[in-house]
Amino acid sequence: MEIPVYLFTGFLESGKTLFIRETIQDPNFSRGEKTLIILCEEGMEELEADFLKKNNAFVVMVEKEEQFTEEFLKEISVKYDPDRVFVEYNGMWDTKRILEMKLPKYWEVIQIITLINGETYEAFMSNMRSLLVNHYTESDMVIFNRCSKEMDFAAFRRSVKAVNKKAQVYFEGEDIDPQNTAEFLPFDLDADIIEIADEDYGIWYLDAMDNPKKYNGKTVEFTGIVYKSKHLAQDNFVPGRHAMTCCADDISFIGFICKSQNAEKLQHKQWVRLTAQVRVEYRKEYKGKGPVLYAKKLSACEKPEEELVYFY
């Protein structure tokens, strides 16, 4: 019998314990199952003895990372024999560590949920970006709480999607209208030619990846660097940009395949200004359907002042 393990990640005071409390109390989620809660840090929120008894839950504290071992997990699995396990992971520990561990028999991580304090997100992204991003790289769900209407929800979502496209992103807070959290696009989708500014390339790329049909048949124009590969047909190349997804050590090239009769004349790593029609087609390189660019106008150009693009 599988024992589901729910992993909660995020910094201290991000709301992990409160979320666990609310989840256990949710009648749609809990029906008296024996729940083992592994707390790897103590926050302001507490799980009182009466609450635990009422909800058939047990808490085990782990104070040091070196105590969180495969042997430790096996011991508490035998001792408590849980029906399910909640792990409130320490925000300063490496999340990949638990995902690479051999869990006790029948234990299986089925959902990773990251809690983020919207009030402090920008500060953490400025000062502890790589550590913060590590929290949601493998997450299934990212919840920004303590949000206000003044926050840039679009930027928050992009910063998550840049490193984890599969994650569902939610926003919580007083007076938050879900309709206002929709992605804001800084270019005109109804224009004859959708001009993509250098600083907006990352936004366009993610939106086109997530919603390719939105761009099917439309014409876009942007500046990119040429990537050529022996694995592509002679009339194919990839115009794109280098993007920083996490930190200076985590830079990747992003772009879509483009067909052009002048592709052979292009040099690898040459900067070009491209006007192209977008068509959604199957490509083996995509392992499915995705945006394919058909060049209408192509010319050499100077590289932009800022070569990198950012998602946040």
What φ, ψ does residue 286 adopt, rounded to 5°?
Answer: -85, -15
Q: Are strands 258-259 and 236-244 parallel, antiparallel or unpaired?
A: antiparallel
Least confident range from 13-17, 140-144, 244-248: namely 244-248
Q: Is residue 28 very low, low, confident or very high in pLDDT (cuts 50, 70, 90)?
A: confident
Residue 247 has pLDDT above 60, yes or no: no
SS3 141: strand
pLDDT in tens, 67-102: 999 999 999 999 999 999 999 999 999 888 899 999
pLDDT in tens, 255-302: 999 999 999 999 999 999 999 999 999 999 999 999 999 999 999 999
The residue behind tokens 């979320």 is 19
Distance CA 155, CA 118 (A): 12
The residue behind tokens 């115009």 is 239
Pick the most confident of 40-44, 112-116, 186-190: 112-116
pLDDT in tens, 130-166: 888 889 999 989 999 999 888 888 888 888 888 887 8
What φ, ψ does residue 221 adopt, rounded to 5°?
Answer: -140, 130
Calculate mean pLDDT across residues 173-202.
77
Contacts of 167 (CB under 8 A, 6+ apart): 114, 136, 139, 140, 141, 142, 160, 161
Contacts of 124 (CB under 8 A, 6+ apart): 11, 132
> At 158, which amino acid appears?
R
Distance CA 96, CA 63 (A): 18
Mean pLDDT of the chain: 90
- 209: which 2 tokens? 């990846």
pLDDT of residue 180: 47
Q: Is residue 177 very low, low, confident or very high in pLDDT (cuts 50, 70, 90)?
A: low
> At 256, which amino acid appears?
F
pLDDT of residue 182: 44
Residue 239 near residue 196 (C-beta atoms within 8 A): no
Structural domains for the chain = 3-181 (3.40.50.300), 194-310 (2.40.50.140)
Beta bridge partners of 4: 108
283 or 42, which is more confident = 283
The residue behind tokens 């992204």 is 125
Helix axes 153-161, 201-210, angle to 10 degrees: 70
Distance CA 135, CA 10 (A): 6
pLDDT of residue 245: 67
Residue 171 has pLDDT above 70, yes or no: yes
Distance CA 248, CA 250 (A): 5
